[in-house]
Structure 1
Amino acid sequence: MSETTTPAVKSSPAHPLVLVVAAAGDQRQAIHNALDATGFAVCEAASGEEGVARAAELHPDLVLLAAEFPESDGTDLCRKLREGLTSSQIPILVMTSGADPRAIEGALGAGASDFVTTPLDTALLAPRLRNLLRTSGNLARLRESESQLNHAQRLARLGSWEWSATAEGLELSLEGARLLDLGKQQIPVEALLAQVDPADRPRVEKAFDQARQEGKPFALDYRVQLANGTLRYLHTQGVVGEVGNGGQFALSGTIQDISERRRAEEKIHYLAHYDPLTGLPNRLLFNEQLVYILSYARRKRHQLALLFLDLDRFKTINESLGHRAGDELLRQVAERLKEATRKTDFVARQARDEFPQAIARLGGDEFSIWLPDIHHVQDVMKVLRRVHQVLARPFSLEGQEVFISSSIGIALYPNDGNDVESLLKNADTAMRHAKQEGRDTYRFYSGAMNSAARRLLTMENSLHRALERNELLLYYQPQLDLASGTICGAETLMRWHQQGKDLIMPGEFIPLAEESGLIVQLGEWALHAACNQAQCWQDEGLPQLQIAVNLSSRQFWKEHLATSVARVLAETGLDPRWLHLELTENILMQNRVGTLATLNFLQELGVGIALDDFGTGLFSLSHLKQFPLNDLKIDRSFIRDLHLLKESGLIVKAIINMGHSLGFRVVAEGVEHQEQLAILRQEGCDCAQGFLIGKPMPAEEFARFLRSWRPDALPAPLRPADKAKASTSAS
């Protein structure tokens, strides 16, 4: 094999490089001379092996290949050259005598672009090569455009399609086929329709039929189920053109994956209409649903009930256990309300089909439930009983068992309102009355509630200014030491004296203060005023007394309570041992770890802690042992019938013994009869408080009461001979 000695040449736009691969030297030379004279750059290779090497080295713009080589097969050589070229678009022109058509077909199949017969007409060779290069360039640019289009379609998740009367099916672009998860670009229309969601298929079929039969363009969204189970949202547009003289329609259009957009739209819709914490409809969606339900009830002449539910003492849980626990409680409440309002029991069929949930979270700890197609009040009562049952079970929060109840207001359509706004307002009003009447209950709306609601709103507004106007007063109710007969303490009770109005009792305004958050400010004022008054009495030479101040749950869980108490004691100069703070069972039960830490801090200050209204909640002996308490106050409900019912006497005796066994001082509240006092003394109760000893009094009157009090002002303890008589009266 001989090698040529063609110097190294380079390609340029003005001088395309042609690689001539031929065994015959005179043939190469003739081609070289002809092409060189017409502006081509030429390099030569005398063998197939050399040609493959030169192609890889020089990257020619065109290869002129002799089909016949003594040492190699032309078809095989053509394949090797094509594999070695940097681009599949570089033309390979095969020179052949034309004697063997099968060899020509083999060369074309192996990668040749075209062929030319020998002997060559060198005068026509240059124009032919330039045309071949031009065609090759156009083809390269076309394929580059197609590549860019495919890339752009893939980025946009946008494919294209065509469908004509003469075609066997849909012709899809690469991206169109990919969007449908198909391995080929030509599919029968039935294959596409088979993937369309059954609920959307009639619309898609109708759009294609109308386009083909009537020439009607279309644009529609639909869902497809891919072979791998993925659900994809597609948007397809189609336009119509005519094919031939027969007037048959041909369709073309685009197909785009809009799944992400639809998911984003659904998420936006969800966030706008659903509560992300509980998954329930929010106020906006609830109102929209209620408008529809009211329209439905109006047409069908049905009665509808709207329940407005508010959790009792939710703020206490939120403040004691933290917002994370509060959020978890709301989630659990939502699940239980769904359990209590099983839609198959009471929701009208049409409403049930369109609105699967009849519950909404309106905000905070407020929930609402609509009950359409109510025939009797008993239908509402059935749901109310279920709600009460599911909420009565303990909730597990942060490893603790928490109990919660709800206050519910009910408004009925059409009796209590004909529109959403009035029904919600009236149900809310009824709920507030339920709260004022003890919580954990329900109330149906009545017209009289409207005027009461307006009065409460006026009172709440006035309460905001009560401190500024010095309208709040502290009254003091004496506590009697049953052993010595002396006054040992006083409980502070708040009163509100609005200018020009009668005295307002705490039962009327304290619930408003708790609901509005003003209770914290009122509690801090009461603490400071009570400590200051106790110190003033001591400075005046009156007996030293333990002053009991009630703490609300919100005040107790206020940050730095112990520091606040220490500051008040320092400012007033009162010795901490003369201050007792009264807490309810609910406060102690909410967050035992946090409660214990706060109580220990207060005990270190020297402040006494009293458990108020003992026996009315879920507190047990095991609970009592956990907390550093000083006083146990027996609730007045046990004292009321102490001298009338034997059972009451047994309960009080058990509480006194239990309190003493734990080292507590026991105080009885609500003592109004001599017989009650006698029994308490007999059972060893330490202190008593009630109207028999003294009513709540303003500070000046209480000071006069202290000065005039004598230990023998009340009957002495029973003699042994009288015990049987007292015991008989208790039974």
Structure 2
Amino acid sequence: MTRQAEKSDLPRVLIVDDDMSMRLLMRASLEQAGFAVDEAEDGWEALKSFERSIPDLVFLDLVMPGMDGFATCEALKELPGGRRTPVIIMTGLEDVESVHMAFDVGADDFLTKPFNWAMLGYRARYVLRANGAMLRLAKSEARLAEAHRIAQLGSWELDLERDSFHCSPELGALLGIEDQQEPPDWSLFFESAHPEDRGMVTRVMGNALEKRKSYSLTYRLNGPGPDNRVVQHLGEVVCDGRGRPSAVVGTVQDVTELKRAEEKVKFLAYHDSLTGLANRHLFNDRTHQAIAACKRSERSMALLFLDLDRFKRINDNLGHRFGDTVLTEIARRILGVVRKCDSISRPVGGGAMPCVSRRGGDEFTILLAEITQPRDAAGVAARVLDAISQPLVVEGREVLVTASIGISLFPEDGTDLETLMKNADIAMYQAKDEGRNKLQFFNDSMNLAAAGRLTLESEIRKGLAGDEFRLFYQPLVDFLNGSILGVEALIRWDHPERGLLSPGAFISVAEESGLIFDINAWVLQTACVQIKTWQEAGLCPQRVAVNLSGEQYALERIIETVSTVLRESCIDSHVLEIELSENLVMKKEQDAALLLSRLKDLGIRIAVDDFGTGYSSLSHLKSFPIDTLKIDRAFIKDIATEGKDAAIARSIVALAHSLELDVIAEGVEMHDQAVLLGDEGCQFMQGYLFSHPLPVREISEVLRRGIPDMGIRGISTRRGG
């Protein structure tokens, strides 16, 4: 390290004196004591030197020509860094007034000439050490004050012996008294507290002073507007050596945002974030309270389980954001009805109040505490259904929503939450089974039915795993010549205990449980394997129809299943015809054309099954890539005797021909039905008149030999012919 660098690391002293000999002597003494020294012979030169290099300490003579020491000291303190640099005045004056004047202009210490040269260095180091401590203390206090400001934390002290009160600026700002002219006193805490909290503040603080113990309390400040600030107030009594209270000290912190955050977290813990309704945790707690109250008062209560009808269609077609908006509005309507009707179930003697919750998805529950009679619950449920079913406009689009509600009663349908909830859920599904947009009270027979559905679901799973399902085939007959156009694959369940079951015995449960996707895949795969076998044996008909079931959201899965099975079976895809129910196709209005086109691109034929029972429109049929319409058997049964059924069948045939589609009549069982259909131009038919559904071996024989002549060939297809 160079000598210059060593010198720059030393504490720097500026000597200001017009006496050169004094400056030289001081320099020698201070350099020997380990200081770097700068000199100035007058005030102006001192200011310039200070600006060039701020010293750590200044020795300043008071009596100088021109700018004296008083003016120089005052000017130095105004320079950048001046207030942090200690100034020791040097004077030969003995009057105390000069010393007072020097301190008034910013001096930190003084020396009287002549000096003790041996002590000069020690004096300089003492002043520097004391100044360093003061600077560190000031910095620490500034940091503490800034921390208090950021934390909105104020401090205070009450001196009981002097009866004086002091509070920090942060506390003054917090309590709104920073501009107050008179000094604050102890009473400001009581005056600043909200009127409803003032008694508590007075009591707690008085009790702490009396019993000499610390305290903590949280209360609202008295401010304008409804949103009062909330503070946390901590205090502690300080006792003297004899154990008597001598002071009380404490802090007050603004915790408004913290309290708001805590309230929000608490709210979210017990409420649904989307709708603001109670969540299942809060609802369960309220229901437990209501049950306990009803047991004490021997009164009744009702639990309503509500599920929106076909709500998934809204999410699938219009998006989840749109669906969330609908759910929020539905929640508002339900809550509005329950609030208007809460006098029906207003508890006596402090019981639980009515409660509405969103269980999740599109499920809601309603607690009606302490009702008088079951019809009270039915009345509320009916009003809720009516409110939900009113048209709803979201983003300029009108939406119609309905719901199904199940009702269970305490104590008739259960005396605990789990039983009441289960039974209301069962009743809700019964309402859906009866057509939706209904309310349904629980009864014991529903429990048996629900248990039966669960058992059946388990048996279906076992049946799929145990190869208990079979495919039977029913011929599709060309009425003009009696030839076989194709066959329809129909699933049967060879149940180990109940024997051979048709789809009506299990398909609805399969659809509810989601097992329908596994069944669809099995039916399609089994049918394609059989098509391959017939093709290799030269027996394959022109088409093999496979009926695939499912709710409206199943179409995507059906496309995936068909694509996979065709790829694995390597059959001629044009032989395969997929039959989809009219509702399945038509209730995906926006996506149906695209999805059906994807299905058609696989090279298969598409038929609309049970046509005439759903919601089709001509515009939809024109845009869909379908090949065949199948007239539902409901219109065939009485076609020979019921004019309306005949008119419907006639219209469907005409519609199919106008769209250049094949038309097949299902459920033809009698000759007069076939003749009438033939006269109307329906060429293709299937039903018991021609053949029952047959197992593989028997249908293969029919394909080999043809349908027996039943006297229908050659019948005129002209009415009256």
Q: TM-score, normalised by structure 1?
A: 0.80
Q: How many angstroms apart in 1 are the aligned matches of 2:480 and 2:221? A: 87
Q: How far does residue 10 in structure 1 lie from its aligned partner after superposition?
A: 6.0
Q: How many angstroms apart in 2 are the aligned matches of 1:645 and 1:558? A: 35
Structure 1 equivalent of residue 83 of structure 2: 88
1:31–1:720 distance in 2 versus 1, CA, 3 Å: closer
Q: Which amino acid aligns with 1:23?
A: D
Query: For 2:657, which of 635, 657, 660 is the aligned residue?
Result: 660
Query: For 1:523, which of 507, 514, 520 is the aligned residue?
Result: 520
1:460 equivalenced with 2:457 (yes/no): yes
* 8 A contact 1:89–1:139 mirrored in 2: no
- Deviation string 1:418-442 (CA, Å, 9 cap, x unpaired) is 1111111222233344455555544
Q: How far does residue 624 in structure 1 lie from its aligned partner after superposition?
A: 1.6
- Deviation string 1:170-195 (CA, Å, 9 cap, x unpaired) is 51265x56766885797566666677
1:39–1:623 distance in 2 versus 1, CA, 3 Å: closer
1:673–1:306 distance in 2 versus 1, CA, 3 Å: farther
Query: For 1:335, which of 293, 306, 329 is the aligned residue?
Result: 329
- Deviation string 1:523-549 (CA, Å, 9 cap, x unpaired) is 011112233445555666768253322
1:49–1:541 distance in 2 versus 1, CA, 3 Å: closer
Q: Which moved more, 1:123-132 or 1:414-423?
A: 123-132
Query: For 1:325, which of 316, 319, 324 is the aligned residue?
Result: 319
Q: How many angstroms apart in 1 are the aligned matches of 2:624 and 2:396? A: 19
Q: Which amino acid aligns with 1:160?
A: S
Structure 2 equivalent of residue 112 of structure 1: 107
Q: Which amino acid aligns with 1:219?
A: S
Q: Percent identity?
A: 37
Q: How far does residue 452 in structure 1 lie from its aligned partner after superposition?
A: 2.8
1:294 equivalenced with 2:327 (yes/no): no
* 8 A contact 1:55–1:85 mirrored in 2: no
Q: How far does residue 34 in structure 1 lie from its aligned partner after superposition?
A: 8.0
Structure 2 equivalent of residue 725 of structure 1: none
SS of corresponding position for 2:59: strand
1:53 equivalenced with 2:53 (yes/no): no
Q: How many angstroms apart in 2 are the aligned matches of 1:610 and 1:644? A: 28
Q: How many angstroms apart in 1 are the aligned matches of 2:531 and 2:390? A: 44
Structure 2 equivalent of residue 344 of structure 1: 339
1:183–1:542 distance in 2 versus 1, CA, 3 Å: same
Q: How many angstroms apart in 2 are the aligned matches of 1:317 and 1:622? A: 22
SS of corresponding position for 1:625: helix
SS of corresponding position for 2:711: helix
Q: How far does residue 468 in structure 1 lie from its aligned partner after superposition?
A: 2.4
Query: For 1:171, which of 154, 158, 167 is the aligned residue?
Result: 167
* 8 A contact 2:347–2:353 mirrored in 1: no
Q: How far does residue 401 in structure 1 lie from its aligned partner after superposition?
A: 8.0
Q: How far does residue 649 in structure 1 lie from its aligned partner after superposition?
A: 4.1
Q: Which amino acid aligns with 1:476?
A: Y
Structure 2 equivalent of residue 431 of structure 1: 428
1:717–1:281 distance in 2 versus 1, CA, 3 Å: farther
1:684 equivalenced with 2:678 (yes/no): no
1:282 equivalenced with 2:279 (yes/no): yes
1:494–1:177 distance in 2 versus 1, CA, 3 Å: farther
* 8 A contact 1:337–1:387 mirrored in 2: no
SS of corresponding position for 2:18: coil
- Deviation string 1:600-649 (CA, Å, 9 cap, x unpaired) is 24334442211223343332222222211112233344445545554444
Q: Which moved more, 1:459-468 or 1:664-673?
A: 664-673
* 8 A contact 2:546–2:577 mirrored in 1: yes
* 8 A contact 2:166–2:184 mirrored in 1: yes
Query: For 1:362, which of 359, 364, 368 is the aligned residue?
Result: 359
1:629–1:205 distance in 2 versus 1, CA, 3 Å: farther
Q: How far does residue 385 in structure 1 lie from its aligned partner after superposition?
A: 3.6
Query: For 1:474, which of 465, 471, 475 is the aligned residue?
Result: 471
- Deviation string 1:120-155 (CA, Å, 9 cap, x unpaired) is 575898487666555434423332332344456567
1:560–1:436 distance in 2 versus 1, CA, 3 Å: closer
Q: How far does residue 498 in structure 1 lie from its aligned partner after superposition?
A: 1.9
Q: How many angstroms apart in 2 are the aligned matches of 1:264 and 1:382? A: 39
Q: Tell me, which stretches of 5 or more residues in structure 1 are unaligned? A: 1-6, 723-731
* 8 A contact 1:430–1:449 mirrored in 2: yes
SS of corresponding position for 1:367: strand
1:631–1:189 distance in 2 versus 1, CA, 3 Å: farther
- Deviation string 1:60-117 (CA, Å, 9 cap, x unpaired) is 443333334432365432221113363534332345677998876554343223556x
Q: How far does residue 232 in structure 1 lie from its aligned partner after superposition?
A: 6.0
* 8 A contact 1:233–1:258 mirrored in 2: yes
- Deviation string 1:491-515 (CA, Å, 9 cap, x unpaired) is 3332222213233332332222223
Q: How many angstroms apart in 2 are the aligned matches of 1:507 and 1:197? A: 70
Q: How many angstroms apart in 1 are the aligned matches of 2:707 and 2:36? A: 132
Q: How many angstroms apart in 1 are the aligned matches of 2:661 and 2:19? A: 123
Structure 2 equivalent of residue 4 of structure 1: none
Q: How many angstroms apart in 2 are the aligned matches of 1:406 and 1:69? A: 100
1:610 equivalenced with 2:598 (yes/no): no
1:604–1:30 distance in 2 versus 1, CA, 3 Å: closer
1:634–1:422 distance in 2 versus 1, CA, 3 Å: same
* 8 A contact 2:681–2:717 mirrored in 1: no
Q: How many angstroms apart in 2 are the aligned matches of 1:190 and 1:688? A: 98
Q: TM-score, normalised by structure 2?
A: 0.81
* 8 A contact 1:25–1:46 mirrored in 2: yes
Q: How far does residue 388 in structure 1 lie from its aligned partner after superposition?
A: 4.0
Q: How far does residue 349 in structure 1 lie from its aligned partner after superposition?
A: 5.0
Q: How many angstroms apart in 2 are the aligned matches of 1:481 and 1:447? A: 51
Q: How many angstroms apart in 2 are the aligned matches of 1:456 and 1:92? A: 97
* 8 A contact 2:301–2:370 mirrored in 1: yes
1:97–1:578 distance in 2 versus 1, CA, 3 Å: same
1:512 equivalenced with 2:506 (yes/no): no
Q: Which amino acid aligns with 2:614?
A: G
* 8 A contact 2:43–2:72 mirrored in 1: yes
Structure 2 equivalent of residue 726 of structure 1: none
Query: For 1:450, which of 423, 438, 447 is the aligned residue?
Result: 447
Q: How many angstroms apart in 1 are the aligned matches of 2:522 and 2:328? A: 38
Structure 1 equivalent of residue 708 of structure 2: 709
Structure 1 equivalent of residue 541 of structure 2: 544
1:139–1:292 distance in 2 versus 1, CA, 3 Å: same
Q: How many angstroms apart in 2 are the aligned matches of 1:226 and 1:102? A: 52
1:144 equivalenced with 2:143 (yes/no): no
* 8 A contact 2:382–2:439 mirrored in 1: no
Q: How many angstroms apart in 1 are the aligned matches of 2:397 and 2:533? A: 44
Q: How many angstroms apart in 1 are the aligned matches of 2:699 and 2:398? A: 43
Q: Which amino acid aligns with 2:88?
A: L
Q: Which moved more, 1:210-219 or 1:257-266?
A: 257-266
Structure 1 equivalent of residue 65 of structure 2: 70
Structure 2 equivalent of residue 238 of structure 1: 235
Structure 1 equivalent of residue 419 of structure 2: 422
Q: How many angstroms apart in 2 are the aligned matches of 1:440 and 1:702? A: 44
Structure 2 equivalent of residue 568 of structure 1: 565
1:461–1:246 distance in 2 versus 1, CA, 3 Å: closer
Q: Which moved more, 1:412-421 or 1:479-488?
A: 479-488
* 8 A contact 1:409–1:431 mirrored in 2: yes
* 8 A contact 1:412–1:423 mirrored in 2: yes
Q: How far does residue 255 in structure 1 lie from its aligned partner after superposition?
A: 3.8
Query: For 1:375, which of 362, 372, 377 is the aligned residue?
Result: 372
- Deviation string 1:651-702 (CA, Å, 9 cap, x unpaired) is 4443333333222223344455666555444433444444555544444455
Q: How far does residue 471 in structure 1 lie from its aligned partner after superposition?
A: 0.8
Q: Tell me, which stretches of 5 or more residues in structure 2 are unaligned? A: none
Q: Which amino acid aligns with 2:108?
A: S
Q: Alignment length, in residue pairs? A: 708
* 8 A contact 2:481–2:713 mirrored in 1: no
Q: How many angstroms apart in 2 are the aligned matches of 1:580 and 1:383? A: 49
Q: How far does residue 472 in structure 1 lie from its aligned partner after superposition?
A: 0.8
Query: For 2:306, which of 302, 306, 309 is the aligned residue?
Result: 309
